[in-house]
Chain A
Amino acid sequence: MEQRDIQSKKRYVVSFFVACLIFLIIFGVSYSLSYFELQRVSYLQDSSAYQIFEDKLIADFFNEDNCNLSLFSKISQDLNFHGRIMDDLEKKFGKGDKDILFRKNFYSLVEVEHFDFVNEFNLRCNASFIPLLFFYSNEPSKVEDSEFVGGLISSISSKNSKVMVYSFDINLESDIVKRLKLKYNITESPTVIVGNNLIFHPRNSDNIEKFIN
């Protein structure tokens, strides 16, 4: 029997281009989903920011006491979600993406506003919210430790609805974050601030809870 040739070189070429097309479509879908999520979270973030600024203005500028406790827990959860999803989007689009950078900066600003408002609210309405500042890092060498401490904090906040968590990316090029780091003497991550207590790399939830209780 004679030796065989390839049946059709053209078929290999067509297969290659079709495979490239399918490959690009899949990446396109993945990118599109990330883009739509960014749009959605940006809208949610703006809504949360509006709510916070409005409440703060009513209290500070119009001197009206609005001691509605129920809103705080939801806003705290929303803010945490915004922070986590921004980190996910940062991984997808890259650290240098302008939209992500802007949103993370804006997020940090909104968080500080809310943190300040909660402290005022505690005084004005005799509430007992416990604001907790968490400085984390997404750097490859530090991200695991940060995720561990983030998990501890999540567990603590699920037990205690009075705990308000404010997370800041220690490496973010943001004036607000830099000032926070100076104010609280933050040099490393993961670091947790509860009241005047600084806890560096807590290994157990008890290390944090003793300052809450």
Chain B
Amino acid sequence: MEFITLVIYLSMFIGIFALVFYVLSFIEGNKRKRLFYSDFELPKVSVIIPAYNEEETIERTLLSITKSDYPDFEVLVIDDGSKDRTLEIAKKFEGKYIRVFHKENGGKGTALNFGIKHAQGKIIFSMDADTTVAPQSMKNMVRYFKEQEVMSVTPAMVIDNPRSVLQRVQSIEYLAGLFLRKSFASLKSIYISPGAFSAYRKSFFDKYGSYDEKNITEDLEMALRIQSLNYVTENCPDAPAYTIAPSRFKELLIQRRRWYFGLIKNLLNYKKIISRKYGDLGSFVIPIAIVSVFFAIFITTYFFFKILFEVKKEILFLNGINFDFGNMVNFNFHIVERFLFQLFSNPVVLFVIFFMFVLIAYLRYALKKLDRSVKFILDVPLFLLFFSVLFSLWWIVSIVYSFFYQEIKWR
């Protein structure tokens, strides 16, 4: 057996093992009785929206948050020295419970910390200026804070109105993530909280400090800090939050490079949590994620070069038949049978089909939670075709950057 075949089979086995484990954890997690705030117990909430040059989306964001059914909340818009009309648009919404601040540009972390200093709520939401939320999202998320060990709650993060191929691929990724995030929550192992919309207990900031302003992924650092102190981040799949995904390849690469670079740097800073002392998070969830990344990079890189090699072979062959495309192949039904046999008798293809069904199950769960019916059937093949290549590329770029650069810019 070739070495690459062994590597693929090993990665498939690890993938199946992790999948079964997460499904079992999800089931066990659903059985666990949790404490939730009732409507009368809900504490005051402060929604902090840091904004920099968000004139195109800030109005939509503010309109969505004002439609929330949460009984007692305030909104603090922190304009971080925008050069466009962000401040002017936000000011139109200023009123009883929406306050707008302006400060010199200093980065998202500084804007969030500015907001925390002025916040009156016991629960702080950080919300991106291009995110929108369902009216029930805040209430459903805050209920989880009844349990004192919960310091943060994450929503059901999804892509808003995906159109381009890249956005549709990301949409599937986000939807599939809903199930996994709930499984991780069952294991008390959420180590990434989306900066686009997450909730935190204000007393955590008071006791352990606010956002790290020098960190390119301050939301990731916060999630790892919570874990390192053995507190809990919960997940609320009944709280949809919609974010805009990059539609162009370069934009997406820059975003993912920042995320994964930030994750590498933050994990290195918090490497102590990769140990048995941190339960399932340190023993399994993070190690498996790291191993999966390396498998993905190795296998995708191998197949990338193999495809190049096959293309070269094909060109040499076409040259051998004088580029007679019409007679390249002696076509008959035997060729179809042979192709189908080679395809479906290959265990790797069967594993891919298995994972495709798992993905569809994840997506059905997500759409049930979001109460949406979306035709994702066409997007699944796009996801299967492109995601592994994109994922490997993002990680390769991020790992290279983390070796050669101490820091990278936001944009």
Chain A residues near B (Cβ < 8 Å): 1-8, 11-12, 14-16, 18-19, 22-23, 26-27, 29-30, 33-34, 37, 77-78, 80-81, 84-85, 88, 92, 144, 148, 151-152, 154-159, 203-206
Query: Is residue B337 within 8 Å, beta carbon to beta carbon, of the partner chain?
Result: yes
Q: How many residue pairs bridge A and B at CB < 8 Å?
A: 127
Task: Identify the stretch in B76-84, B217-225, B322-330 within 8 Å (CB) of chain A at 4 or more residues.
Answer: B322-330
Chain A at the B interface: SS class: helix
Q: Which of A26, A34, A78, A152 contacts B351 (CB 8 A)?
A: A26
* B233-245 Cβ-contact flags toward A at 8 Å (1 or 0): 0000000000000
Report yes or no: B329 in contact with A152, Cβ–Cβ below 8 A: no
* B12-32 Cβ-contact flags toward A at 8 Å (1 or 0): 110011011100110010000
Query: Is residue B410 within 8 Å, beta carbon to beta carbon, of the partner chain?
Result: no
Report yes or no: A151 in contact with B350, Cβ–Cβ below 8 A: no
- A2–B25 Cα gap in the complex (Å)? 21
A152 contacts across to B, CB distance below 8 A: 317, 320-321
Report yes or no: B334 in contact with A78, Cβ–Cβ below 8 A: yes
Which residue of chain B is the closest to A80 with respect to CB atoms? B334
- A34–B16 Cα gap in the complex (Å)? 23
A4 contacts across to B, CB distance below 8 A: 188, 230, 277-281
Query: Is residue B305 within 8 Å, beta carbon to beta carbon, of the partner chain?
Result: no
Given contacts A1-B149, A3-B277, A26-B347, contact A88 B341 (CB under 8 A): yes
Query: Is residue B283 within 8 Å, beta carbon to beta carbon, of the partner chain?
Result: yes
Q: Which of A23, A77, A148 contacts B317 (CB 8 A)?
A: A148
Number of B interface residues, CB 8 Å?
50
- A84–B335 Cα gap in the complex (Å)? 10
User: Which residues of chain B from 334 to 351 have a CB within 8 Å of any chain A CB?
Assistant: 334, 337-338, 341-342, 344-347, 350-351
For B12, B13, B21, B341, which residue has the most chain A Cβ atoms within 10 angstroms?
Answer: B341
B378 contacts across to A, CB distance below 8 A: none
- A8–B279 Cα gap in the complex (Å)? 10
Report yes or no: A155 in contact with B329, Cβ–Cβ below 8 A: yes
A23 contacts across to B, CB distance below 8 A: 12-13, 16
- A12–B361 Cα gap in the complex (Å)? 22
Going nearest first, the 7 A-B pairs with the smallest beta carbon separation are A4-B279, A81-B334, A158-B330, A1-B230, A15-B21, A19-B17, A15-B20
